[in-house]
Amino acid sequence: MIEIQFWWLAILPVFFGLGWLAARVDIKHVIAESHSLPLAYFKAVNHLLAGEINKAIDLYIDIAKKHSETIELQATLGQLFRRRGELERAIRMHQKILSRRELDENQRQQIQLELAIDFIKAGLFDRAETILHDLANTDSARLARKELLAIYQQEHEWQKAIATAELLRDESHSYQLEIAQFYCELAAESLIRAQHDKAINELELALKEHRQCARAHLMLGEIAFTKGCFDLAIEHWLKIATHDVHYLALAARFILNAYREKNQLAEGISLLTRYVQQNPELDVIDLIYEQLLATTGIDAAYEFVRERLRENPSMPGLRKLLEAHLLVAPDEQKVELEIISKLLHDNTRTYSMYYCNECGFKTRQFFWHCPGCNQWESYAPIRGKSRAAV
């Protein structure tokens, strides 16, 4: 039988009493804080929640004039000026706060970061960079480095971007993908200057950093093709499929060009056909159809798209089948088929676009770096699909 420790029964009311007292103290503190804030402050918060930024700013300006000692309020007002695009006012506000002697170290670092962001938004990268470097040995160092990384990407300072990303590495984010893309950007600049060996070295560094970097394999293949090494070019391009077969679509036309240079175009078409048979979503159907139409005629091209539509029914596949059928249809059927084809084309335009998986930015051109949100490799290499759907 379990013995009851009766002294516990005596101490329980003490614990309840302490809890009640702590709750009363917290409540009194909250009430006191709320009474110290002007009513206009809460009205401004309501405007912010409703998305009425201009009304909130007007109220905050009035509060700030009457309560200039409130650092947090001044900082919030500076952020709101920046959001509204009034960068000069945001800069002046944050500079004014920094001139105050009563700032503690955490507050000073916070305002320095805000001022640096103001300068970045205004395009004053040098001034922002100076402030961010000053924060290198503070508790705000990581946040400062993230802003520096954004600056270096905008200015195409890829070596500095690599060095900064390496400092940002931690368990939560390795930055392998980004660093590999920075090396690819360096290689692209080297190719513009016809420095092929330098570009190859940079692309090998990209693959060392991130062995699944499809862009590095793609560029190495292009360099080999330029040098007339067609087998080596094909080898580089086919390595893409070993990591993510969908990216092979970006190299498909290059692969056919290499086989054409070898006088083996039919073999290249057969190779891509096998890939699409094994991977129905591979975005090369239009290309193979085009090549079959030019080399073997309409019957082979029509049969190819018909088989693909049977294996993987899709609106783009149906549109391509109608396009092929128009070429062989009797004249009396062509008018109706052309109307259907036009309607289908108008209603499937979204299937011809690439979509950023981060921000939804859509474009007809594939980007490694999204113009909308500045994320790397956020586009799926399949038109009409997000990466999440691949």
Annotated binding-site ranges for Fe cation:
356, 359, 370, 373
Q: DSSP character for 2?
A: P
Q: DSSP character for 281?
A: T
By C-alpha distance, which of 306, 385, 320 is closest to 351?
385
Return d(Cα 157, Cα 285) in angstroms, integer: 39
Q: From the centroid of its chain, how far is CA 56?
A: 31
Length of the chain: 390
Return d(Cα 271, Cα 48) in angstroms, integer: 58
> Which amino acids are annotated as binding site, given as ranges?
356, 359, 370, 373
Q: Are 254 and 222 in contact (CB under 8 A)?
A: yes
Number of Cβ atoms within 10 Å of the Cβ of 20: 10
Return d(Cα 225, Cα 231) in angstroms, integer: 8
Return d(Cα 19, Cα 26) in angstroms, integer: 11
Return d(Cα 223, Cα 348) in angstroms, integer: 36
Task: Look up tokens 């600049």; give the residue.
Answer: 189
Return d(Cα 64, Cα 256) in angstroms, integer: 67
Dump strand ranges (E) for the chain.
354-355, 362-363
Return d(Cα 109, Cα 135) in angstroms, integer: 7
Q: What share of the chain is helix, strand, coil (3-state, %, to 5)?
A: 75, 5, 25
Structure tokens at 48: 């912010």
Structure tokens at 186: 């360096």
Bridge partners for 354 per DSSP: 363
Q: From the centroid of its chain, how far is CA 15?
A: 52
Q: How many CA atoms lie within 13 A of 387 on its CB side?
A: 16
